[in-house]
Structure formats: C-alpha cells, structure tokens
Amino acid sequence: MKFCSLCGSLVEIKIPSGDNRPRHVCNACSTIHYQNPKIMVGCIPVWEQKMLLCRRAIEPRYGLWTVPAGFMENGETSQQGAARETQEEACARVEVEGLYTLFNLPHINQVYLLFRSRLLDLDFAAGEESLEVGLFEEHEIPWEKLAFPVIRESLQLYYADRKGGSFPLRGGTIIRTPESSKSYRIMLDSD
C-alpha cells in the first residue's frame, strides 16, 4: 500500500496515537488503513462414506487436490460462504453442519474454518476453478497430492474422529518453519 484509497495521497507507515503497532496512515487525510486477517471458509462434503475433493485448476497448487474452500465474502455468513465455495468449485449442493476445524495460518494472515457437510445429491461437476471433482473412500484419498497442509491436517483429524463416531471441534496453528517456504509445523490445540 502506497496511496490512500480515500483521497489518493501518499501513505506512510507509523504508529497512530493510542495504538501500539505500525499502520498505513494517510499523510493528507489521516485515515488509518488497517490490515487484518482474512477468513477462509470451506466444506468437508460427505456422501455416505465418501468425501468430495476438487483438483485445482488455478494457482497456487494447480493440479493438486483440496476440499472446496475459499475467501469468505462480505455480506454472507461463514456457513453460507462454505456452501457457496462448494457450489462454485464442485457445482455441488450441501447441507452445512457444524464447524469442524479452526486453523490459524499467521504467516499468511488467514484463519481457516472448515465445516462438516452433507452432500445433498450426486449431481456435482468441476466448477471453473477445478480440473475435476470426485468422491473418495478413505483409502483412496490422494494424501501426497493434497494442495495445502491445513487440508491434509483437517482430513487426518476427520478420519481419526470418524473411527470414534464423534466430531468435536478441532484445530490449531500452522507455522511456516524458517528452513523453507514449503516446510510447515503443525501445532494442534489440545482437546
């Protein structure tokens, strides 16, 4: 951010009075432009014992598999956002059930909310952002070709909980390790 989105003047980075961290502040109109984490919402869509996954037709992680998820939009609820992403990426209709995982991704300023959900019919198809969409039994999940650590971790938790027959809220924090941008450490919240 270089310019004020309200008046077009230059912004500078400084700590506003009464604040305790640097913000982008307009030199002319003094507007403070806060930047905050974004919410990713998605579904874990299930039909009987099978899970619906999408193969990404967009970057990042083109060609890898994920559950339907994306940026929550203004004016919607988190559950509506999860259902909308499932409609957009997999042309699928779901009944959104409880929140299942909350993962913090502080290195990219995101919070991931994944909801368990029930696929309402088998009339799904690849949306514009997907190469293909399919239903997978647990032993068919392409673990080595999942797009994101948060998805891999959520699905591992899901299958472990499914054995026990209940799905308490799970979550944690995914921390990028300094060695590599592709290396992560997972810190799970305790039960």
The Cβ of residue 17 has, within 10 Å, a number of other Cβ atoms equal to 5
* Backbone torsions φ then ψ of 155, nearest 5 degrees: -70, -35
Binding site for its own copies (CB under 8 A): 1-8, 11, 18, 20-21, 33-39, 71-80, 88, 98-99, 102, 104, 106-107, 109, 111, 113, 128, 169, 171, 173, 189
Smallest gap from Cβ 22 to its own copies, in A, equals: 11
The Cβ of residue 36 has, within 10 Å, a number of other Cβ atoms equal to 6
Helices vs. strands in the chain: H and E counts, helices first: 2, 12
Q: 80 or 136, CB closer to its own copies?
A: 80
* Backbone torsions φ then ψ of 187, nearest 5 degrees: -115, 110
Find out whether 11 and 26 touch, Cβ atoms under 8 Å. Answer: yes
Smallest gap from Cβ 72 to its own copies, in A, equals: 5
Smallest gap from Cβ 21 to its own copies, in A, equals: 7
- Work out the burial of residue 156: count CB atoms within 10 Å of its CB; fewer than 13 is exposed, 13-18 middle, 19 or more buried: middle
Q: 34 or 143, CB closer to its own copies?
A: 34
Smallest gap from Cβ 126 to its own copies, in A, equals: 15
Q: 98 or 142, CB closer to its own copies?
A: 98
Q: 108 or 122, CB closer to its own copies?
A: 108
